[in-house]
Amino acid sequence: MNSDTFLPPLPYGEERSVVIGRSRGFHLKPPPAPAALRDFITSDAQLFETIHMGSVEVDAKRWRLQVDGLVHNPFSIDLDALKRLPSVSITAFHECFGSPLVPTSANLWRVGNVRWTGVPLAVLLEHAQLEAGATHVWSDGLDSGEFGGRSMNRYRKDLPLSKALSYEVLVAYEMNGKPLTRERGGPVRLVVPGWFGTNMTKWLCRLSVRGGRANSPFTTLWYNRDSEREGEVLREPVWSVEPNSLITHPAQGDTISADEVAVKGWAWSGNGIDGVALSTDGAATWLEAEVLPRREFEWQQFAATLPLPQTPGLVSIIARARDADGSIQPLSGTRNAAHSTQISWFLP
Ligand SMILES: Nc1nc2c(c(=O)[nH]1)N[C@H]1C(S)=C(S)[C@@H](COP(=O)(O)O)O[C@H]1N2
Ligand SMILES: [Mo]
């Protein structure tokens, strides 16, 4: 067993003592169909869940967060003290990288949009005072168990300091105005708006400032992908989210008896969506939708009224988002390939 897979107990005491429920094993709650995600804020009931080794029930009264590593002032803080620090609320889309991992015909759409409340990670790092040589913040979750043929006693991720110090990264204790539930990672989880869900460590117990990347199965073995830049293939962690979108109106299978159709949906990406184009003729011609500007990290609504083709029958509506850097959703072949909705229409 790799020595990094079993991590030593924390100095403030046996961390297992705060865990009062055992892991339940791999757990996935799928999201509803796109047409059921019409609300701007996704309710806890509708929001997907991805848990690798099993959720843990943490005793919030005994829980502490330890902040250590390359810092002048290592400390630990309990939940009451954390809640007394200035808090921030941020609305952000929330997407799992495994949605789907490989292109499939039935896209799982593991995505939603929620409001998180907590203390900016930057405030805690400021208090800890970074030492020279600090480059990353490692985050540990209290869950343990088996996943992918490995046995582990913590979930561990890392963030480069450039992101860790951004205002939007939160040590969060509320979602949609309510304390985080057990399944959401309560009492406290990391929230990294704009980046894939995998970076948002649940059941957070430790933040450690380090001079390099963490060597954990969740950082080096899984959640990496190859991307090509200037002819070179680079293996990169799944950090910022590429442009993606889904159509909420009309619903798959709807019947329309008018000569036009009102189309609406959500589009999102790590750095914000610039435009969404829609097609009803198999990507031959495109029409620009109206897209609401982004204020925080929320998903952005797009809307347009599209004329329907001359001949009644089946129509496929395709939505294609592009982000602020000009990156555009491919039509097929990638995990963020453009979504389409099929409707049937007859003459009014
Ligand atoms: N400790 C811990 N944190 C975790 C996970 C986990 O299994 N353990 N899963 C991650 C993944 S892959 C995702 S997509 C999000 C899902 O958060 P949610 O279940 O609240 O939607 O949590 C992330 N944080
Ligand atoms: Mo995920």
Each of the 348 residues of the chain gets a pLDDT tens digit; together they read: 444 456 666 665 546 667 766 667 888 888 888 999 999 999 999 999 999 898 888 999 999 999 999 999 999 999 999 999 999 999 999 999 986 555 444 455 799 999 999 999 999 999 999 999 999 999 999 998 888 888 888 899 999 999 999 999 999 999 999 999 999 999 999 999 999 999 999 999 999 999 999 989 899 888 988 877 778 888 889 999 999 999 999 999 999 998 899 999 999 999 999 999 999 999 999 999 999 999 999 999 999 999 988 788 999 999 999 998 889 999 988 889 898 999 998 876
pLDDT for residue 162: 97
Sequence-separated (6 or more) residues with CB below 8 Å from residue 237: 219, 223, 224
Which ligand is located closest to the Cα atom of residue 101? 2
- C-alpha 348 – ligand 2 centre gap (Å): 44
Q: How many whole angstroms from 273 Cα to the centroid of ligand 2?
A: 21
CB 121 within 8 A of CB 170: yes
Q: Which of 188, 184, 193 is nearest to 205 (CA)?
A: 188
Residue nearest to atom 5 of ligand 1 (CA): 51
Q: Which residues contact 43 (CB under 8 A, 6 or more apart)?
A: 176
Nearest ligand 1 atom to alpha carbon 110: 14
Place of tokens 């004329």: 307
Q: By C-alpha distance, which of 30, 72, 21, 80 is closest to 51?
A: 30
In whole angstroms, give the CA distance from residue 244 to residue 100.
12
Distance between CA atoms of residues 261 and 296, nearest Å: 30
* pLDDT at site 19: 74
Q: Which CATH number characterizes residue 297's domain?
A: 2.60.40.650
Where do the H-state alpha helices sit in 85-142? 121-128
Please report whether residue 255 resides in a domain.
yes
Cα–Cα distance, 159 to 137 (Å, whole number):
5
The residues that bridge with 195 in the sheet, in sequence order, are 240
Q: Is residue 228 part of a domain?
A: yes
Same domain for 221 and 324? no
Whether the CB-CB separation of 332 and 343 falls below 8 Å is answered with: no
User: Checking DSSP bridges between strand 255-256 and strand 189-191, what pairing results, if any?
Assistant: unpaired
Residue with tokens 């951004």: 166
**Are both 193 and 260 inside the same structural domain?**
no
Q: Which of 202, 237, 272 is the last residue of a domain?
A: 237
Q: Judge if the upstream peptide bond of residue 100 is cis by omega within 30 degrees of 0.
A: yes
Within this chain, do residues 262 and 196 fall inside the same structural domain, yes or no? Answer: no
Closest ligand to C-alpha of residue 94 is 1
Q: What is the domain count for the chain?
A: 2
The structure tokens 């804020």 sit at: 41
Residue with tokens 């889309």: 93
Atom of ligand 1 nearest to the CA of 190: 24
Residue 339 structural domain? 244-345
Do 330 and 261 lie in a common domain?
A: yes
Cα–Cα distance between 81 and 298 in angstroms, integer?
Answer: 29
Q: Whose CA is nearest to atom 11 of ligand 1?
A: 198
Of 27, 10, 28, give the one whose Cα is nearest residue 19. Answer: 10
Probe residue for ligand 1, chosen from 23, 29, 50, 93 as the CB with the greatest number of ligand atoms within 8 Å: 50
Tell whether ligand 1 has an atom less than 6 A from the beta carbon of residue 142.
no
d(CA 97, CA 243): 13
Beta bridge partners of 260: 307
Q: Are 128 and 72 in contact (CB under 8 A)?
A: yes
Ligand 1 contact, 201 CB (< 6 A): yes
Task: Clarify whether residues 192 and 263 are in a common domain.
Answer: no
- Residues 46 and 185 reside in one and the same domain: yes
Burial class (CB in 10 A: 0-12, 13-18, 19+), 9: exposed
Of the candidates 225, 118, 222, the one whose C-alpha atom is nearest the C-alpha of residue 179 is 118
Q: Find the CATH number of the domain harbouring 76.
A: 3.90.420.10
Report the candidate in 73, 94, 220 with the shortest Cα–Cα distance to residue 168.
Answer: 94
Contact 272, 323 (CB under 8 A): yes
Q: For residues 169 and 270, state if they share a domain.
A: no
- The rounded Å distance from CA 197 to ligand 1 centre is 6
Beta bridge partners of 301: 266
In a domain, 70, yes or no: yes
Rounded to the nearest 5°, which phi and psi values hold at 308? -95, 155
Helix ranges (DSSP H) in 18-75: none
Q: What is the whole-number distance in angstroms between the Cα of residue 102 and the centre of ligand 1?
A: 19
Q: What is the pLDDT of residue 105?
A: 41
Q: Are residues 128 and 31 in the same domain?
A: yes
Q: Please work out, in degrees rounded to the nearest 5, the angle formed at the alpha carbon of residue 285 by the alpha carbons of 281 and 290.
A: 105
Asked whether residue 5 is assigned to any structural domain, the reply reads no
Residues 259 and 225 in one domain: no
CA-142 nearest atom, ligand 1: 1
Scan for tokens 């107990």, then name that residue. Answer: 9
Q: Is 188 in the pocket of ligand 1 (CB under 6 A)?
A: no
Does the Cβ of 218 fall within 6 Å of ligand 1? no
Q: Is 205 in the pocket of ligand 1 (CB under 6 A)?
A: no
Are 24 and 129 in a shared domain? yes
